[in-house]
Amino acid sequence: MNPRIEPLTVAFQKRVTFSEVDGLGYVHHSNAAIWFEQAREAYFRKFDVPVLEFARKGIYLAMRDLHVRYEEFIGYDDVIEVRVALTRLLRVSCELHYRVDNLRTGKLAVRGSSGMVAVETRVPGAPPAIGRIRFDRQAFLPRVVSAEELYSPSVN
């Protein structure tokens, strides 16, 4: 991992469970979206974005798009590290990139991104409308890293 961006990212490690693999013993593709969500939640917790408090007020970051690219197989009982970085922050949207490394093989196994857009429920029961980012954007601007840095090989 690039030492410059490590403090700007969040990572967690987990062992792949039987419920996450397909009949061939390799991770089913649907798990990437779940791992990305877990990483995103960890990122917001680390940097004190009160997502739950916002949700109670009807303010959300909704998924606009999700991209996943599978580079290597991940098997049952492999240990993986899922890392997330904020790569773009605008007034009403943000983009995050993710990498999943297989710690058994030492290889980048999955890369992906998600575009999030701020929405608010202004009238109870009505569909949400485009809102704006409600956390302190200025504090996050120095935490924005490039996707290239996130995916670059380790720098020792």
**For position 154, what pLDDT does the model report?**
65
- Tell me if 114 sits within 8 A of 65, measured CB to CB: yes
Query: Measured between alpha carbons, how far is 76 from 15 in angstroms, rounded to an integer?
Result: 8
CATH classification of 6-143 is 3.10.129.10, yes or no?
yes
| Tokens read off for 96 | 């995050």
More confident residue, 153 or 112: 112
User: Mean pLDDT, the chain, as a whole number?
Assistant: 94
Residues 6+ apart with CB under 8 A from 37: none
Q: Which DSSP state fits 154?
A: P
* Least confident segment among 18-22, 37-41, 97-101, 124-128: 124-128
Give the model's pLDDT for residue 122.
81
- Is residue 76 helix, strand or coil? coil
Distance CA 115, CA 69 (A): 15
pLDDT for residue 112 is more than 70: yes
pLDDT bracket for residue 156 (50, 70, 90): very low
Mean pLDDT of 53-80: 95
Which among 145, 118, 125, 109 has a CA at the least distance from the CA of 32?
A: 109
pLDDT of residue 109: 98
pLDDT of 131 > 90? The answer is yes
CA distance 137 to 139: 5
